[in-house]
Amino acid sequence: MLKTSRNPVHIIGYGYLGAKLLKALKDRKLAPPEQIFTISRSSAEHQGHGISWDLDSDYSAPENYSVEQAIIFYFVPPPRSGQLDLKAQNYINELIRQQKKPQKIVLISTTGVYGDCQGQWIDEHSPVKPAVDRARRRVDAEQQFQNYCQSNNTPLVILRVSGIYAADKLPLKRIQAQTPVVREQDSPYSNRIHADDLLEICLIAGLKAELTGIYNCSDGHPTTMYDYFIQVARACGLAEPPSISLQQARTELSSGMLSYMGESRRINNNKLLADFKITLQFPNLEQGLAATKLNSVHPEIAFLAIYRNAKEKV
């Protein structure tokens, strides 16, 4: 049972996860509403005490922003290019400039920092070896926050998150377009976490003072990327996408997708489950999809499934 925080709560980066966190904090009264602040490029993007701050170009925060004794959730995605996270650098420079100590920082990172592990099981003791720039930017952000927090004796939790899925976060357009997937025997391992489970993990990470360190966030039951797309298609009643060989994929799939296909690892979440004392609501993809009210989020799915079934019977 989480206790209500008396500290200010700052959500830096008000995107998909930030919006879920804000709603949970308010609905469950885990922080006084007047003490919750969200920061993004435009205050029009968020609710409550929204602060506009573009970390790409504004090198200092608005005058009314103070980090003193705040629980900070840093959810800002890195820049789209380069090997350094200059957004994180801008934010940390502001922390240094203020000379006021936050209560705690929770940083969202990615399991992509481990690079290609050729399908081996990976835990928090495994070395980081990012193979692509998007992962190198995440490693840079981790190192920046670690350096700041060590120098200022500020508790830090780094959550290395695998692929996030939920009813409103599924590759439906890709499946409906019948974009090919790499066949089972050539497909790398894929790790994931349901958005609702990740939300609980974030809340615990921020509101339980004793928790610090690095944690892998996954459901602990990886399958292949092929399996992921097939299971989603079946759960939605959609036609399964065609499968192709890895050799074919090199000419038919985007460079972005191919870069993901070049990495395979299985993420161990034992440390997370033990230290957070959490039982995941959705411990595997099957349960996550079975419990997801897909039709209520995507009403078009029900129509497409009915149409497909009727067509198959003709």
Does 237 reside within a domain?
A: no
Does 280 reside within a domain?
A: yes
Does 272 reside within a domain?
A: yes
Does 126 reside within a domain?
A: yes
pTM of the predicted model as reported, rounded to 2 decimal places: 0.92
Express each pLDDT in 39-74 by its tens digit. Answer: 988 655 555 568 888 898 877 888 888 999 999 999
- Higher-confidence residue of 13 and 44: namely 13
228: nearest Cα among 270, 269, 280, 189: 189
Does 313 reside within a domain?
A: no
- Point out which residues pair with 160 in neighbouring strands: 109, 216
How many separate domains does the chain show? Answer: 1
Q: What type of residue is 37? A: F
Q: pLDDT band at 311, cuts 50/70/90?
A: very low
pLDDT score recorded for residue 54 = 86
Does 161 reside within a domain?
A: yes
Confidence check: pLDDT of 289 > 60: yes
Structural domain harbouring 151: 9-166+192-222+264-285
Does 81 reside within a domain?
A: yes
- Higher-confidence residue of 227 and 53: namely 227
CA distance 39 to 159: 20
Does 306 reside within a domain?
A: no
**86: domain CATH number?**
3.40.50.720
The DSSP secondary structure of 224-292, one letter per residue, reads EHHHHHHHHHHHTTPPPPPEE-HHHHHHHS-HHHHHHHT---EE--HHHHHHHT---S--SHHHHHHTS
Contact at 8 Å (CB) between 141 and 107? Answer: yes
Look up residue 112 and give its two tokens. 């992509």
CA distance 292 to 219: 16
Express each pLDDT in 74-89 by its tens digit. Answer: 999 999 999 999 999 9
Q: pLDDT band at 206, cuts 50/70/90?
A: very high
